[in-house]
Amino acid sequence: MTKAPDESPVAGELGRLIARRIALTGPISLADFTAEALAHPRLGYYRRALPVGAAGDFTTAPEVSQMFGEMVGAWVADRWLAMGRPAPVRLVELGPGRGTLMADALRATRGVPGFHAAVDLHLVEINDRLRLAQADALASFSPALAPAWHGRFEDVPAGPLLLIANEFFDALPVRQFERTPAGWAERMVGLADDGETLRLALAPGVSPFSALLPADAPVGAQAELSEPCRALAAAIGARLRRDGGWALIVDYGHDGALGSSLQAVRRHRAADLLDRPGETDLSAHVDFAALAEAAGTRSFGPVGQGAFLLALGIAERARTLKARATPQQRDALDAALARLIDSDQMGTLFRVLAVGDDGSAAPPGFPDTPLDPRTDVA
Ligand SMILES: C[S@@+](CC[C@H](N)C(=O)[O-])C[C@H]1O[C@@H](n2cnc3c(N)ncnc32)[C@H](O)[C@@H]1O
């Protein structure tokens, strides 16, 4: 039997569960499919897998080089100084992966007087195995900086906030739409005629989400919309308005442009969206304009990750590290720097958005404000 386009055999227990749900209740949105595939309490990808790093499915900026976390640490400490050194300050990371970014950020800010004493550390993570990895990565800062873990940002206690999210929003579900002659129709996950193969198809009729999508798009245009991203940005913005602070969001993304970006990756290679749910990473480009709008407070950027890191002094940091490195380490540092900042690597695809308002000028990195010299990581 030949396979129709967009069909894939149901593999594994989660795939069978999703197929049974669809058989009982009808087609589900791609957002519902993604929520099951990534966060199903027992079988979801982010509940079970150790996805980050060479042995996982993808590599992230903090895993490329310590310099990434160091620059983010300096930025966060700078914002704490600009806020008037509140104590305690809730330092929150969403989806900390292996804990590498936070460990590098804390190591780099040891010398900022009073900062570590003020920090109350909170990690938002749904993966128990990654929570253990994070505890290991941060062990040297305990007990003074022992983290508290939460499953949701909303459970972080009230108080002035410094929030970091690197490649977190891209893991939240998106809906997908296609423009038809009648209007925007939603792409749904249903079943093929065999009753068990997952299949993508457009829902009949015009989607009620049309009001949120461009009215003048041509037939055939694609669009995405993430309610969880907007809801989380709104919750962060409300906290920032109430308690003060800053959020730094780094991700690959766009500015509200049309297109479809939801992609599947397994073992560092592209995979089929519907194939092997629970064993495959699904992610979508982040709509930064929607995040900034939902946050409802002042925002800066997005700027390219390369420009942001250069403005914070990553090139100088690389020079300092190279001065005491072996020739082999120097080559590795050059390669890591290029990977983080070059525009044909992560430098422009990845973007940085800052959200917050303490009445000051733009924060460092947006675009030219220098860091407070007290945050020097050298
Ligand atoms: C793409 S990884 C990024 C990891 C890390 N920030 C880095 O840069 O290496 C996404 C992280 O978010 C966590 N995660 C995914 N979905 C989540 C959710 N709904 N709630 C909390 N954590 C989640 C994952 O377990 C993982 O730690």
> Structural domain boundaries of the chain?
7-43+175-225, 61-172+226-375
Distance CA(235)–CA(229), nearest Å, equals 10
Contact by Cβ (8 Å): 236, 163? yes
pLDDT greater than 70 at residue 3: no
Say which CATH class 61-172+226-375 falls into: alpha beta
Over residues 277-297, the pLDDT tens digits come to: 998 899 999 999 999 999 999
CA of 125 to the centre of ligand 1 (A): 6
Distance CA(298)–CA(355), nearest Å, equals 6
Which residue has its alpha carbon closest to ligand 1 atom 18? 126
Mean pLDDT, rounded, for 298-320: 96
**Which ligand 1 atom is the nearest neighbour of the CA of 124?**
21
Nearest residue to 207 (alpha-carbon basis) of 173, 226, 180: 180
Count Cβ neighbours within 10 Å for each residue of 163-175 and write b for 16 or more, e otherwise: bbbbbbbbbbbbb
CA of 97 to the centre of ligand 1 (A): 6
pLDDT greater than 70 at residue 5: no
Of residues 316 and 267, the one with the higher pLDDT is 316
Over residues 198-252, the pLDDT tens digits come to: 999 999 999 999 999 999 999 999 999 999 999 999 999 999 999 999 999 999 9
CA of 327 to the centre of ligand 1 (A): 34
Over residues 60-77, the pLDDT tens digits come to: 999 999 999 999 999 999
Distance CA(228)–CA(234), nearest Å, equals 10
pLDDT in the model for residue 54: 65
Over residues 21-39, the pLDDT tens digits come to: 999 999 999 999 999 999 9
CA of 43 to the centre of ligand 1 (A): 16
CA of 292 to the centre of ligand 1 (A): 20
**Which ligand 1 atom is the nearest neighbour of the CA of 95?**
12
Unique residue bearing structure tokens 């190591």: 107
CA of 168 to the centre of ligand 1 (A): 5
Which residue has its alpha carbon closest to ligand 1 atom 27? 97
Distance CA(247)–CA(94), nearest Å, equals 10
**Residues 6 or more apart whose Cβ sits within 8 Å of residue 227:** 31, 173, 175
CA of 130 to the centre of ligand 1 (A): 9
Which residue has its alpha carbon closest to ligand 1 atom 7? 97
| Mean of all residue pLDDT scores within the chain | 92
Which residue has its alpha carbon closest to ligand 1 atom 24? 95
* Ligand 1 binding site (Cβ under 6 Å of any ligand atom): 38-39, 46, 52, 60, 62-63, 95-97, 101, 124-127, 130, 166-168, 171
| Residue to mutate (ligand 1; options 64, 65, 126; most atoms within 8 A of CB) | 126
pLDDT in the model for residue 161: 98
CA of 181 to the centre of ligand 1 (A): 38
Over residues 108-147, the pLDDT tens digits come to: 999 999 999 999 999 999 999 999 999 999 999 988 899 9
Contact by Cβ (8 Å): 301, 366? yes
